[in-house]
Amino acid sequence: MQKIDLFFFYRQTFLIIAQKLSGFGRALYFFADVCSLGLKGKIRLSELMKQIYEQGMQSVVVVALTSAATGIVLALQGYMMLERFGAKEKVASLVALSLVRELSPVFTSLIFSGKAGARVTAELGAMSVNNQITATKVMGVDPLEFLVLPRMLACVLVLPILVVFSQVIGIMGGYLVAVFQADIPGSFYIHQTLRSINYVDFLSGFIKTFFFAILIGWVCCYQGYYTKGGSIGVGHYTTRAVAFAYIFVVLSNTVLTKIILTFWG
């Protein structure tokens, strides 16, 4: 009896692993197909511009509020700690480097996943369960070209802009605390900010943002494209897409940070 139980346990484990590997292979094939369409120049500019506007406008307010609050909190905490060591003038460097290297790329990507990414998944999911994707194929139009590629490309274009916007807003939040709370001259704060950031700091954050954008667009479009189960399935796949996007952003940030620090310091 115990041998039979073990047999079924190993069989179920093998089937689960095979199913996950099959799903990962289909996701890679999906990504390769979309990339090949982009490399061939099959980009619908009108649809792309529409997606850029909608994804950007949907996230900009939340990004601004989060970035301002992050910059203010960083400046407050940094000022209180650095003042103990007589180095409160270093608060500008603390805020700028923290935002440019880590916080703005990660926080903005998470917000973008929850707002624009969820919207993309829900849109494609609704089209999938209502057979609109199938109808697009019947009409002789490639749904990857018409529906998926503009959304993925918009993610890659919009997210870096939002990250730069987040960095500027966060530094402005730190500026307010430095000037009105820490009595640091505004010109000195700006000078220290510009002096502390070099091209490596900005480029490291930009590289992370580029990878995050690809992951978010890929995960959300894939989950939406293969949504099943009616309206309940749309909610389930949308939730799953956002959760996967969060996990991939956090894990890839860890790997990319290690690689960047190893080569650039």
Question: For residue range 88-124, what is the model confidence (pLDDT) as tens digits?
Answer: 778 888 888 889 988 999 999 999 999 899 999 999 9
Which pLDDT tens digit goes with each residue over 145-196? Answer: 888 999 999 999 999 999 999 999 999 998 998 888 878 888 888 888 888 8
- Nearest CA to 34 out of 149, 155, 125, 151 is that of 149
Q: Across 72-81, 135-144, 148-157, 189-198, which has the greatest mean pLDDT?
A: 148-157
265: number of Cβ within 10 Å: 6
CA 244, 242, 251 angle in degrees (round to 5)? 40
Confidence of residue 1 (pLDDT cuts 50, 70, 90): very low
256: tokens are 């990319």
User: Which pLDDT value is given to residue 197?
Assistant: 85
Whether pLDDT at 21 is above 90: no
Query: DSSP letters of 119-165?
Result: HHHHHHHHHHHTTHHHHHHHTT--HIIIIIHHHHHHHHHHHHHHHHH
Confidence of residue 208 (pLDDT cuts 50, 70, 90): very high
Confidence of residue 14 (pLDDT cuts 50, 70, 90): low
User: Which pLDDT value is given to residue 23?
Assistant: 62
Q: Is 30 exposed, middle or buried (0-12, 13-18, 19+ CB in 10 A)?
A: middle
Confidence of residue 2 (pLDDT cuts 50, 70, 90): very low
Confidence of residue 29 (pLDDT cuts 50, 70, 90): confident
Query: In angstroms, rounded to a whole number, what is the distance separating the alpha carbons of residues 232 and 236?
Result: 6
Whether pLDDT at 83 is above 80: no
Which pLDDT tens digit goes with each residue over 212-228? Answer: 999 999 999 999 999 88
Instruction: Give whole-number Cα distances, 159 to 89, 98, 107, 195, 225, in Å.
Output: 32, 18, 11, 26, 21
Query: In angstroms, rounded to a whole number, what is the distance separating the alpha carbons of residues 169 and 74?
Result: 13
Packing angle, helices 91-98 and 149-180, rounded to 10 = 170
Instruction: Give whole-number Cα distances, 218 to 13, 29, 95, 105, in Å.
Output: 27, 11, 32, 18
246: tokens are 């969060």
Which pLDDT tens digit goes with each residue over 234-251? Answer: 889 999 999 999 999 999
Q: What is the mean pLDDT of the chain?
A: 85
